[in-house]
């Protein structure tokens, strides 16, 4: 029998207790899942932000910390964490992100706002969108989420360019990497989707110089992390029309303060970090199968490289 400590908030325990117990049983893991295991007897920690564990030092027997979220920037800053860390890669979360990105891409591509807000009796049939094949889309970050979004956008006919840290060869998209690759990826892009993790290297990836490389009137869609964009540069680019509209799901400060300039800005759409929320049933299966595999000698899945920060 292994001891699994659920170290997250009360709300998450309510959502996850039953799915985790079911998933552990289905994966054949004999486990005692509790919120109050002592550090010295804990074999695995299921971790969520805002939970009770800040200091991982006493967890000397712990074989892995399994994060409930895909983004790990908060926990990777914790210097007491020396145990292996796994991030969440969950098929439902990936599908949710694909739906959100495709939905917001199509909104901008089709110019839906003009019709939703323009029911004024005037028949303007001289303005219509290009077909997707004439609308280049660039995705910054082509890991689990960015690559899946790229495939869906390709299916719809968009020419997709993806950018990553290391060289990649992903079907149906032009894959670029490194600094030169970023310049090429952004040059002339009409829609840019940010799905990079938050690390020291990715902060302000979209700065003034890089926003200037986009096609005039480009659209920005950011479900990655707020600090990936230089906010002041974005506001300036919206002002000149270099960027037509930004759809932002993530922010430097969350919740986004009520008096923040982004709220109510006519060229910004704020969504409250809901692009892809972890779903308990499927996430519980991912965690249970990871523990089951590890107990049977397999390497941990979705391990975070602490050196890279993601
Ligand atoms: P992932 O699989 O780790 O992919 C990250 C991608 O970013 C990889 O392609 C990686 O390159 C690239 N990358 C990292 N650092 C880079 C750098 N310095 N330069 C260029 N490329 C770099 O992560 P994921 O699961 O797709 O998730 C991506 C992010 O989405 C998460 O970190 C999180 O911030 C965000 N997220 C948001 C929500 C939401 O609801 N808004 C939900 C889930 C996740 P390599 O391929 O070369 O490693």
Query: 260 an active-site residue?
Result: no
Omega before residue 43 within 30° of 0, cis: no
- What does pTM read for this prediction? 0.96
* C-alpha pair distances (Å), 195 with each of 201, 272, 310: 14, 16, 12
CB 227 within 8 A of CB 250: no
Ligand 1 probe mutation, 94, 98, 141, 183, most atoms within 8 A of CB: 141
Q: Note down pLDDT in tens along the chain; length 310 residues.
A: 999 999 999 999 999 999 999 999 999 999 999 999 999 999 999 999 889 999 999 999 999 999 999 999 999 999 999 999 999 999 999 999 999 999 999 999 999 999 999 999 999 999 999 999 999 999 999 999 999 999 999 999 999 999 999 999 999 999 999 999 999 999 999 999 999 999 999 999 999 999 999 999 999 999 999 999 999 999 999 999 999 999 999 999 999 999 999 999 999 999 999 999 999 999 999 999 999 999 999 999 999 999 999 9
Closest CA to 269 of 256, 285, 284: 256
Please give the CATH superfamily to which domain 2-90+278-295 belongs: NAD(P)-binding Rossmann-like Domain (3.40.50.720)
Sheet with 44-47, side-by-side order of all strands: 31-34, 2-7, 44-47, 64-67, 85-86
Question: Residues of CATH 3.40.50.720 domain(s) within the chain?
Answer: 2-90+278-295, 91-270
Domain 91-270 class in CATH: alpha beta
Question: What's the CA gap between 72 and 87, in Å, rounded?
Answer: 7
What is the distance in A from the centroid of ligand 1 to the CA of 196?
4
Active site residue 245: no
φ/ψ of 308, rounded to 5, equals -80, -30
Contact, 157 vs 129, CB < 8 A? Answer: no
Is 88 near ligand 1, meaning CB less than 6 Å away? Answer: no
141 close to ligand 1 (CB < 6 Angstrom): yes
**Beta-sheet pairing, 2-7 with 218-222:** unpaired
């Amino acid at each position: 029998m292994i001891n699994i400590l659920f170290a997250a908030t009360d709300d998450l325990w309510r959502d996850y207790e039953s799915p985790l117990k079911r998933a552990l049983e289905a994966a054949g893991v004999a486990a005692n899942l509790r919120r109050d295991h002592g550090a010295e007897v804990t074999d695995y920690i299921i971790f969520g932000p805002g939970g009770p564990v800040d200091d991982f030092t006493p967890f000397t027997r712990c074989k892995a910390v399994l994060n409930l979220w895909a983004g790990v920037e908060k926990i990777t800053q914790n210097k007491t964490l020396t145990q292996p860390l796994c991030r969440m890669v969950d098929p439902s979360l990936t599908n949710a992100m694909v739906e959100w990105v495709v939905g917001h891409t199509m909104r901008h591509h089709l110019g839906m706002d003009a019709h939703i807000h323009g029911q004024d009796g005037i028949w303007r049939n001289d303005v219509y969108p290009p077909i997707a094949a004439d609308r280049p889309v660039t995705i910054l970050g082509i890991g689990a989420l960015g690559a899946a979004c790229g495939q869906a956008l390709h299916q719809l006919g968009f020419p997709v360019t993806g950018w990553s840290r290391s060289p990649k060869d992903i079907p149906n998209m032009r894959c670029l990497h490194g600094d030169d690759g970023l310049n090429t990826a952004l040059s002339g892009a009409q829609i840019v989707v940010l799905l990079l993790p938050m690390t020291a290297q990715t902060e302000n990836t979209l700065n003034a110089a890089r926003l200037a490389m986009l096609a005039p009137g480009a659209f920005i869609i950011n479900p990655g992390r707020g600090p990936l964009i230089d906010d002041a540069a974005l506001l300036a680019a919206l002002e000149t029309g270099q960027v037509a509209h930004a759809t932002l799901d993530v922010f430097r400060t969350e919740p986004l303060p009520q008096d923040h300039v982004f709220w109510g800005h006519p060229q910004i759409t704020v969504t409250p970090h809901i692009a892809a929320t972890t779903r308990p049933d499927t996430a519980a299966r991912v965690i249970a199968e990871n523990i089951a595999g590890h107990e049977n000698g397999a390497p941990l899945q979705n391990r975070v490289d602490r050196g890279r920060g993601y």
